[in-house]
Amino acid sequence: MKLDRVQLTDFRNIKSADFNPSRSLSLISGKNGSGKSSIIEALYYLGYGRSFRTNKHESAIQHDAERFSIFTRCTDDSGDESAVGLQRSRHDQFTCSINGNHSHRLADLVSLIPVQLFTPQSTDLIIGSPGERRRFIDWGLFHVEHQFNLMFQTFQKLLKTRNTLLKRQANIDAPENAYWEQQFVTVGEHLNAQRKDYVSRLQPIFNAICSEFLPEFSLEISYYKGWEKDASLTDSLLRKREYDSKVGYTTSGPHKSDLRFKVDGSLAQEILSRGQLRMAVAALQLSQTKLFQQETQRKSIFLLDDVGAELDIDKRERFIDGLVAMDTQLFVTAIEREQLDFIDKYKDKKLFHVEHGHVKEE
Ligand SMILES: Nc1ncnc2c1ncn2[C@@H]1O[C@H](COP(=O)(O)OP(=O)(O)OP(=O)(O)O)[C@@H](O)[C@H]1O
């Protein structure tokens, strides 16, 4: 997917912007508070239907405006053109429009435009909560496995049902409840198998990229399924039944799965510096981009916010080289162009300057 034109209206401090990004690399520079991250946030909305900075859509609507809108003309990987729009008002639910057809289904938008993001907070992928890492794996599965979203939504519903039964102290073995338990196990084992398989496909790519990005360390990534290693989910649920009833929720299952990063047997966050952790995250994201391309023959859109704050100059260059070589459409923000002085070597690039919410091509 490539975005050919982007139009923003009443998004944060951007009253109105209309620009044609490069199909390869767009550098967006400007002073603090000029609106660079707002552009990245708006593009992220196209890929996720939400912000990465806030859960409140209202915060992204320009003060005094009723709604924001984000519109793009894009070309997919088979050369078909689409017009995609998204609006959020202070009151409505989510609505998007794809080639004139309106939809309230987030999945319609999200499956169309695959977007990845790297920001100063990206180390959370390693040091943050397991939920961050599950979302990372699930992004890959969502874009690769057609039925993944349906299965994931079904699992969430089954988990909710099981937790409700546990809270009510219901007898899980009663015939009317045993059905739900069985469904939970079937879908849960399936979800686990897909995640495990995804991580095993990602591992060799990650190892190869890490040996280039962090050659001084041997970084290993492993998958924890969310319950005891050698047990089936049925056995684990049975073993924890009494405890789960006491606490009122399910303590084992794929909703507890995680990724673990280790360097010589120790947790990566105990060994690596902050900059090295960022490189590990960059390697992880590059691996995911590569796997996504290999398995779908599609290209993703990559957003790199405030790259100067994240990585030193050769790491920045290596990361951007990797993304450009994979033909992702890349949007990079920096306070000053000099933070990316190596950028001159890229042929197909565009430079944009942002000032008080106005975007101008240089
Ligand atoms: N809802 C809103 N309406 C109008 N302006 C807003 C809104 N939300 C944030 N702003 C303002 O938008 C401006 C742009 O913020 P943004 O985070 O995009 O800046 P930036 O260029 O990325 O800055 P930095 O380099 O400091 O990260 C800020 O001055 C912020 O106060």
Q: Indicate which residue's Cα is closest to atom 31 of ligand 1.
A: 33
| pLDDT higher than 70, residue 24 | yes
Q: Please, what is the average pLDDT of the chain?
A: 94
C-alpha distance across the termini of the chain, in Å:
24
- Cβ 37 under 6 angstroms from ligand 1: yes
| 55 labeled binding residue | no
Domain containing residue 97: 1-114+301-362
Query: Are residues 172 and 282 both part of a single domain?
Result: yes
The residue-averaged pLDDT of 10-35 equals 97
Confirm or reject: Cβ of 62 under 6 Å from ligand 1.
yes
Atom of ligand 1 nearest to the CA of 305: 22
pLDDT value of position 358: 98
Q: Are residues 263 and 289 in the same domain?
A: yes
Average the pLDDT over 162-184 and give the result: 92
Report the separation in Å between the CA atom of 28 and the middle of ligand 1, taken as the mean of its atom positions: 14
Mean pLDDT along residues 315-337: 93
36: DSSP letter: H
Q: Identify the band that residue 160 occupies on the pLDDT scale cut at 50, 70 and 90.
A: very high
Please check whether residues 129 and 7 belong to one and the same domain: no
| Number of folded domains that form the chain | 2
User: Looking at 297, 321, 349, which one is the last position of a domain?
Assistant: 297
- Final residue of a domain: which of 297, 329, 352? 297
- With cut-offs at 50, 70 and 90, classify the pLDDT of residue 310: low
Same domain, yes or no: 293 and 305: no
Is 32 annotated to bind ligand? yes
Query: What is the model's pLDDT at position 341?
Result: 86
Q: Do 6 and 90 have their domain in common?
A: yes
12 lines ligand 1 (CB under 6 A): yes
Structure tokens at 266: 């120790």
Q: How many CA atoms within 13 Å lie on the side-chain side of 330?
A: 26
Does 233 score more than 70 pLDDT? yes
Q: Is 200 annotated as a binding residue?
A: no
For residues 102 and 216, state if they share a domain: no
pLDDT in tens, 96-151: 999 999 988 888 888 899 999 999 889 999 999 999 999 999 999 999 998 999 99
- Residue 243 one-letter amino acid: Y
Instruction: Specify the pLDDT at position 105.
Output: 85
Enter the ipTM: 0.98
For residue 32 and ligand 1, the question of a CB distance below 6 A is answered with yes
